[in-house]
Chain A
Amino acid sequence: MGNSFSFTKPLLETPFHERTYEACYNNDWYRWAGYKIAREYSNTELEYTAMRNTAGVLDITPMHKYDIKGTDAIKFVDKLVTRNVTEINSGQVMYIIWCNEDGNVIDDGTVFCFNSNHLRIFCAERNLNWFSDTAIGFNVEVEDVSDTIAALAFQGPLTCKILNLLNVKDIENLKPFYFDKFDLNGCKVTISRTGFSGDLGYEIWCKNEDAINVWDSLFTFNRDYKVLPAGMNALEMVRVEAGFIQPNADFMSAEQALRPNRVRNPYELGMGWLVDLNKNYFTGKKNLVNLKKKTLTKKLVGLDIQGDKPAIGSVLYDKNKKEIGIVTAGMWSPSLKSNIAFGYVDKDHMKIGSKVFAEIYHPEELEYKKIWAECSVVKKQFFNPPRRHKVPAEI
């Protein structure tokens, strides 16, 4: 895909830019929260393969980062999100979603607990306004610290081994969804065992001035391990395989949707497991209690599609050719050797194993080939290897 933006204001460069710029042969940049992030460095398939077989490095600096400080920090997050976070421990990370009063999802993210008076939320969309309004009545300060922290996702089966070779002490014992402070090549960094890839992997948070040093260190053993910088296209592939959905791609954020029927609640997104209706009051609880009782009319599901042509943007039908939904993300998965997608289906086709049909328009040398492909409804999490959860991690 070519560069389709005509920028009126130059995009910001992350602290890794000196390196990402050198590595980005294609000079193909993606606009993420006002920053330039490589869409493809040289070849998406290679970058993807590095993440699945060795290790890939992604510049995720543009992630929004909000510090929550004050004696009510935990109470505040508990009021904000649908999960019970009152039991969160120092050093723990939780995956969270938050809803508006109608019970429709605004965004998802992770929350890091430094101590009971200091948490930090990471998310893809801007949320300062929402967080600040949620903070009314709580003894907390919400601060946007996005620009003060540089961040890399280091994802793939060899990541622990490489960090271990870099003398990051005890890194193999870091449990999934935990984080700690470490020394990396002489820099003080925070490393969490988290990521978008659904595989073993880490996210590394450092000061802006240490960014280049941290970046370089991850490529120290490249002769043997072939670490590659990975762009947004490769990220898109791994996150679909891992079953992670994305606001404004798989659903419209309730804060941004203009059309009233475009918003989605957690049950429709298959995120009901994240909603705890027995915890203290949180935004949306009242309506979620009602929604839970109702039968769903549509749901986002995983699809295993016949053939090998990605069903990007396809409309879904039942066997009588009645339109029942749409595909929000689709790809040929090289690791799974299958044609996978996320899509919305109606209430008669939500069960695992249901059969639906996708109408795929596949471009072939200036002509579209129209394919009628059978799909099975499956779990969204397509890729989930045991090494992702193993403690100690493989070194």
Chain B
Amino acid sequence: MRKFDIIIIGGGHNGLVAASVLSKKGNKVLVIEKNENLGGLSNYVNSLSYISEEVLKELNIKIEKDINENYVSALSDDLNHTVLKITGNKNIEILQTNASESDQANFFNLINKYDLFARTLRSFMFNKPPRVKSGSRSDIWQLFSMGFKVRLLGKKNMRELLRVIGLNIADDLEDNINNNTLKGLISSEAVIGTNLGARSPGSILNLLYNQATNNSIFRINKYNTNSFLNSIREICKKNNVEIETNKKVEKIGISNQNVNSVLLDTGEEIQTSLIISNVDPKTTYLKLVGAANLDTDFIRRTKNYRTKGTVAKIHIDFKNEIKINNLDTKYLSGKFVYAPDIKYIEHAFNDNKYNKLSSNPCLEFYINKNRLSANVYFIPYLISSSHDKTEILSNVKMILEKFITENQILSSAIETPNDIEDKYNISGGHWSHGDMEIDQLLMMRPFYGSSQYSTPINGLYLCSAGTHPGGGVTGINGINAAKQLLKDKRNG
């Protein structure tokens, strides 16, 4: 039987990041990936806006910036599109809009406010959050320092943060802005990848959270996802990490609450006493670990962890290079958002609540010559029925026809949350491996009894987007999990 010091289940970006950190310390590491390609869900990411200095330093890599100027175009049915230019982290300019002067001023005030709050949250992102009910000194210190950072905002801002953090984004926008396109644009960033509508409490928190991990409210393209993945892969190679693709882990071997092996779909069993799972928490616990090794209360929390995916990925190939009506071609390199107003988003979300397809979904897309790649939401993850994919495609095409004319669609492909689940073995095909809502964040992520990357099974750790700080391509989950493992190893 083959034997490794540490086995990483899943070659998503977090799994690879963990592998690089661990292998640097001289451990014999094996990564097992179900698919042919590495990278997992990051293969869907069009816009990698930020990899934190902390992560780059830890991995000792540099990645190239794609472009310096970015555009975000919020499409409007009347073809009066709003275009933003984003330079650097938060240097935002409005290039064209039909919003009034005062709306524009308020728009910037709001963005600056969110930016301030997001920076406060950002300081929580790189640490493991304290555990609930642990009573340990380091956990109490962590909690204290989190409170302290909020306090540093000053009285007025702290009050404002505490006021809005539980609010819904629609309320805060409607208090400040009249222009529908601007409201739709910000709301869209607050709800994409979640089970929240613009009027759901917690949508502001989600926005701030996204902004904190992406260091930008519009998550706009700056880095090339592939170049990030490639540099991690380089490190893995240099440190002799073995990576085996097209192999799926079926079961984690456990005896007496200790990890001792993984069992592959090839029938092979590989020995190890340390495992990091890059698979989402629900699948890891219910399928790989198995309920028999876990307490019923814990199973209950796992079962109740919300992982219903809401985003489908669509690729459409056109005959000619794509142009958007009434939009300068120099903005085509940017991101497009079709979420024309709050009501529209809310309607699309409402259908999702009842597991129905909205005929008017929201879109976030990128254009690359003839090809258009879109995140379509809200497309519910279905448990007991299946999607009518042609209907989704024709809904999307109907929207696109408003903006793209005199061009012919040659082919199109769609992956629904159910397809994403099948392909990557991630519950619900969820963007973040589990909803990013207040009860599933920070020390409650994924849930009580499983925080700080540890699990009830000795030797098993989690590094997926289902852990703190959540989804997106950040690499933080991978680094934190690896560090926790190394720390426990040192302490025996």
Binding site for B on A (CB under 8 A): 75, 79-80, 100-101, 130, 133-134, 136-138, 280-281, 283-284, 286
Cα of A323 to Cα of B456 in the assembled complex, Å? 38
Of B54-62, B168-176, B291-299, B429-437, the one with at least 4 CB within 8 A of chain A: B291-299
With a CB–CB cut-off of 8 A, which chain B residues contact A101? 295-298, 449
Nearest-neighbour CB distance to chain A for B431, whole angstroms, equals: 25
Nearest-neighbour CB distance to chain A for B134, whole angstroms, equals: 14
20 additional A-B residue pairs with CB within 8 Å, beyond A75-B292, A130-B296, A133-B300: A79-B292, A100-B295, A101-B295, A101-B296, A101-B297, A133-B296, A133-B303, A134-B296, A136-B286, A136-B291, A136-B303, A138-B291, A138-B292, A281-B257, A281-B293, A281-B294, A283-B296, A284-B295, A286-B257, A286-B295
Q: Quick one: which of B236-295 are within 8 Å of A by CB?
A: 257, 286, 290-295
Which 5 residue pairs are nearest across A and B when measured between Cβ atoms? A137-B291, A101-B295, A101-B297, A283-B295, A134-B296
Interface centre among A80, A133, A283 (most CB of B within 10 A): A133
Nearest-neighbour CB distance to chain A for B445, whole angstroms, equals: 19
Cα of A138 to Cα of B303 in the assembled complex, Å? 14
| In contact, A286 and B456 (Cβ under 8 angstroms) | yes
| In contact, B299 and A137 (Cβ under 8 angstroms) | yes
| In contact, A281 and B292 (Cβ under 8 angstroms) | yes
Judged by DSSP, the binding face of A is loop
Cα of A286 to Cα of B455 in the assembled complex, Å? 13
Nearest-neighbour CB distance to chain A for B220, whole angstroms, equals: 42
Q: Which residue of B lies closest to A106 (CB)?
A: B296
Judged by DSSP, the binding face of B is helix
Binding site for A on B (CB under 8 A): 257, 286, 290-300, 303, 449, 456
Q: Which residue of A lies closest to B256 (CB)?
A: A281
Complex partner residue of B297 from A75, A80, A100, A137, CB under 8 angstroms:
A100
With a CB–CB cut-off of 8 A, which chain A residues contact B286? 136-137
Q: Which residue of A lies closest to B297 (CB)?
A: A101
| In contact, A136 and B456 (Cβ under 8 angstroms) | no
Would you list 18 pairs from A and B whose C-beta atoms are within 8 A, ordered by A residue?
A: A75-B292, A101-B295, A101-B298, A133-B296, A136-B286, A136-B291, A136-B303, A137-B290, A137-B291, A137-B292, A137-B299, A138-B292, A280-B292, A281-B293, A283-B295, A283-B296, A286-B257, A286-B295
Cα of A206 to Cα of B290 in the assembled complex, Å? 38
Q: Which residue of A lies closest to B449 (CB)?
A: A101
With a CB–CB cut-off of 8 A, which chain A residues contact B303? 133, 136
Nearest-neighbour CB distance to chain B for A265, whole angstroms, equals: 14
| In contact, B299 and A136 (Cβ under 8 angstroms) | yes
Q: Which residue of B lies closest to A287 (CB)?
A: B295
Nearest-neighbour CB distance to chain B for A75, whole angstroms, equals: 7
Interface centre among B257, B290, B291, B292 (most CB of A within 10 A): B292
With a CB–CB cut-off of 8 A, which chain B residues contact A80? 296
Nearest-neighbour CB distance to chain B for A97, whole angstroms, equals: 14
Cα of A75 to Cα of B291 in the assembled complex, Å? 12
| In contact, B299 and A134 (Cβ under 8 angstroms) | yes
Q: Which residue of A lies closest to B289 (CB)?
A: A137
Nearest-neighbour CB distance to chain B for A70, whole angstroms, equals: 14
Cα of A54 to Cα of B126 in the assembled complex, Å? 74
Cα of A184 to Cα of B299 in the assembled complex, Å? 44
Cα of A374 to Cα of B296 in the assembled complex, Å? 43
Cα of A80 to Cα of B449 in the assembled complex, Å? 19
Nearest-neighbour CB distance to chain B for A255, whole angstroms, equals: 10
Cα of A75 to Cα of B292 in the assembled complex, Å? 9
Nearest-neighbour CB distance to chain B for A337, whole angstroms, equals: 45
Also in contact, A100 and B296, with CB within 8 A (given A136-B291, A137-B286, A137-B291): yes
With a CB–CB cut-off of 8 A, which chain B residues contact A136? 286, 291, 299, 303
With a CB–CB cut-off of 8 A, which chain A residues contact B297? 100-101, 283
Cα of A286 to Cα of B254 in the assembled complex, Å? 14
Interface centre among A75, A281, A284, A286 (most CB of B within 10 A): A281
Q: Which residue of B lies closest to A280 (CB)?
A: B292
Complex partner residue of B299 from A75, A133, A284, CB under 8 angstroms:
A133
Q: Which residue of A lies closest to B298 (CB)?
A: A101
Cα of A168 to Cα of B18 in the assembled complex, Å? 69
Cα of A130 to Cα of B257 in the assembled complex, Å? 22
With a CB–CB cut-off of 8 A, which chain A residues contact B296? 80, 100-101, 130, 133-134, 283
With a CB–CB cut-off of 8 A, which chain A residues contact B449? 101
Cα of A250 to Cα of B357 in the assembled complex, Å? 53
